[in-house]
C-alpha cells in the first residue's frame, strides 16, 4: 500500500522500519508500507502507486520539469527526474514534458495531500469545505502550486507573488510553524 503522511522526525520511534520512503513533497513523506500496519495515528492519505511515482512532478511548471539526461538506451526518462548539485553542467540536464498520465497522477496526489493538510490544520468546518472545494476543482499542477503559495505560504518554482490571487479569505488555516 502507498501512503502520504505528514513528515515526522527521522528518529521518531513510532515510524516503522518497514516503511519504504520513496520521496517527500512539501510537509509530506511518500512511502510504501506493508499491508496490515497500524496507521491510524499517522494523519495519512492512501495513494496509488502511480500517484506515488508522480511526486517528482510536483515542481513542474507549464507541464515541464528538468531531469537528468538519461543514459543511451533508457526508454523511461522519468527515473532520472531531478539532478544532483554535483551535476551543475547544462549538458547533464534536459527538459521533460509531462504526459497526460503524469499530469493526472500528480494533480491527484497534490489534491489528496492538500485536502489532508486542510482537514488536519483548519478548525472551521466552513473553511475546510471551501478550501477542499477549490482544491478539488483545480485541473493543473500550476493551479495547485498557486494555491500552495496563496493559502499555505509556500512558493514553488515559476510561481511569483503577484500570481497569488486569493479566491477565499481564510482566517483559521495554520502553517506547521504555528502549530
Of 44-58, 62-76, 82-96, 109-123, minimum mean pLDDT range: 82-96
31-60 pLDDT per residue, tens = 999 998 888 888 899 999 999 999 989 989
pLDDT grade, residue 84 (50/70/90)? very low
pTM, 2 dp: 0.83
Q: Are 18 and 33 in contact (CB under 8 A)?
A: yes
What percent of the residues of the chain are helix, what percent strand, and what percent coil, each to the nearest 5? 40, 20, 40
C-alpha to C-alpha distances, 153 to 72, 121, 145, 159, nearest whole angstrom: 41, 14, 11, 12
Q: How many CA atoms lie within 13 A of 60 on its CB side?
A: 29
pLDDT grade, residue 81 (50/70/90)? low
Chain Cα centroid distance, residue 144: 10
Dihedral angle computed from the Cα positions of residues 44, 48, 50 and 53, in that order, rounded to the nearest 10 degrees: 20
133-174 pLDDT per residue, tens = 999 999 999 999 989 888 887 877 666 666 667 766 665 555
Residue 55 CA to residue 25 CA, distance in Å, equals 7
C-alpha to C-alpha distances, 131 to 13, 121, 138, nearest whole angstrom: 33, 12, 11
Q: Which three cell numbers stand for residue 166?
A: 486569493
pLDDT at 151: 85
Amino acid at each position: 500500500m502507498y501512503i502520504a503522511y505528514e513528515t515526522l522526525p527521522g528518529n521518531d520511534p513510532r515510524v516503522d522500519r518497514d516503511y519504504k520512503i520513496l520521496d517527500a513533497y512539501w510537509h509530506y513523506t511518500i512511502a510504501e508500507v506493508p499491508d496490515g500496519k497500524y496507521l491510524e495515528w499517522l494523519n495519512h492519505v492512501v495513494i496509488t502507486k502511480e500517484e506515488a511515482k508522480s511526486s517528482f512532478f510536483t515542481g513542474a511548471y507549464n507541464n515541464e520539469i528538468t531531469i537528468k539526461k538519461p543514459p543511451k538506451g533508457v526508454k523511461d526518462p522519468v527515473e532520472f527526474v531531478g539532478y544532483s548539485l554535483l551535476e551543475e553542467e547544462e549538458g547533464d540536464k534536459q527538459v521533460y514534458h509531462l504526459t497526460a498520465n503524469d499530469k493526472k497522477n500528480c494533480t491527484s496526489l497534490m489534491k489528496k495531500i492538500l485536502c489532508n493538510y486542510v482537514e488536519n490544520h483548519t478548525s472551521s468546518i466552513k473553511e475546510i469545505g471551501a478550501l477542499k472545494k477549490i482544491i478539488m476543482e483545480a485541473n493543473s499542477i500550476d493551479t495547485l502550486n498557486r494555491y500552495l503559495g496563496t493559502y499555505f505560504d509556500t512558493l514553488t518554482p515559476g510561481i511569483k507573488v503577484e500570481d497569488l490571487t486569493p479566491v477565499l479569505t481564510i482566517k483559521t488555516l495554520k502553517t506547521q510553524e504555528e502549530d
